[in-house]
Amino acid sequence: MATLLALRTPPNRHGYLMLRLKIFLMGLATLFAGIAWAADADYRLGAGDVIRISVFQNPDLTTEARVSESGNITFPLVGSVRVGGNTVQLAEHMIAARLKDGGYVLKPQVTILPLQLRSAQVAVLGHVNRPGRFALETVTNRLSEMVAAAGGVAQDGADVVVLLGTRNGQAYRREIDLPLLFRKGDLSMDEVLQGGDVIYVDRAANFYIYGEVQRPGAFRLERDMTVMQALATGGGTTARGTVKGLHIHRRDEIGRVTVIEPRMNDPLRPDDVIFVQESLF
């Protein structure tokens, strides 16, 4: 009886509990990563991708492998398996079939979790400092990380970026306000990217000011900018200028230009043209 109890009781209870906790945390991390990955179950594995392969109730078979240039990986017991070009689900079935046909596991349940997606790329275009194509390093790469990889938004770039891609087989488009994203800290606005996505940063909107101002020209239209702030950006009026009778030339949706006389606290719109007249006295 003493021998049986000794076999059932771990010799180091603290070490045993720590081991159980470690296994639980690893399983939890895998679960959350799997939930994030479920957004693109049709992803096809390619050269350079790093995947974790696990077999239910067979922890000794858990393997991390990198897909070779030829599309192959090496898995315990079954050797080389060609997974390149196949979906994750199909690759799971292939490995499970090899394990079952070889008599290694009676009813194998194989799960593949992509860790790094070197073969999946995202294009970042427009007004960024280093436009180009960038590889998705993980299954949870977000839009802000990819904009950072492209050197960030250029000085003349807009605050709102456009994300184009496909989701569930349908064309997908979303506009993301980057300053608002960081101000709120809302990760739901920071889109998780998928292979083939395109991020486009447009030119920032401008306004124009001319006439009796110190620095006439084109300037970036800042968020919620008013007429008074625009005059200050232009250095204010000259000694001959006056804000009385100030005009804004504004183009509407159909391209028609109208002339308005704004108040100093009125907001500007993109491509507004401000004209400061000369004082008559």
For the stretch 209-256, pLDDT in tens is 999 999 999 999 999 999 999 999 999 999 898 888 899 999 988 889
Q: Return d(Cα 204, Cα 192) in angstroms, integer.
A: 24
Reported as a pLDDT band with limits 50, 70 and 90, residue 35 is very low
For 182-208, what is the mean pLDDT? Answer: 90
- In angstroms, what is the C-alpha Rg of the chain? 30
* Tokens, residue 54: 């696990």
Percent of the chain with pLDDT over 90: 60
Reported as a pLDDT band with limits 50, 70 and 90, residue 17 is low
Instruction: For residue 19, give the DSSP letter.
Output: H
Output 99 or 35, whichever has higher pLDDT.
Answer: 99
Give pLDDT, residue 250.
94
Residue 41 has pLDDT above 80, yes or no: no
For 42-60, what is the mean pLDDT? Answer: 88
Residue 14 has pLDDT above 90, yes or no: no
Give pLDDT, residue 114.
86
For 41-65, what is the mean pLDDT? Answer: 88
Q: Return d(Cα 245, Cα 153) in angstroms, integer.
A: 38
To the nearest whole number, what is the mean pLDDT of the chain? 85
Residue 126 has pLDDT above 90, yes or no: yes
- CB distance 61 to 76 below 8 Å: yes
CA 236 to each of CA 123, 126, 231, 241, 249: distance values in angstroms, whole numbers, following the listed order: 42, 33, 5, 9, 19
CA 31 to each of CA 111, 112, 113, 150, 225: distance values in angstroms, whole numbers, following the listed order: 11, 12, 10, 31, 46
Reported as a pLDDT band with limits 50, 70 and 90, residue 15 is low
Domains of the chain from N-terminus onward:
118-203 (3.10.560.10), 206-278 (3.10.560.10)
For 93-112, what is the mean pLDDT? Answer: 93
The total of other beta-carbon atoms located within 10 Å of residue 24's CB is 10
First to last CA, the chain: 113
Residue 168 has pLDDT above 90, yes or no: no
56 CA to centre of own chain: 32
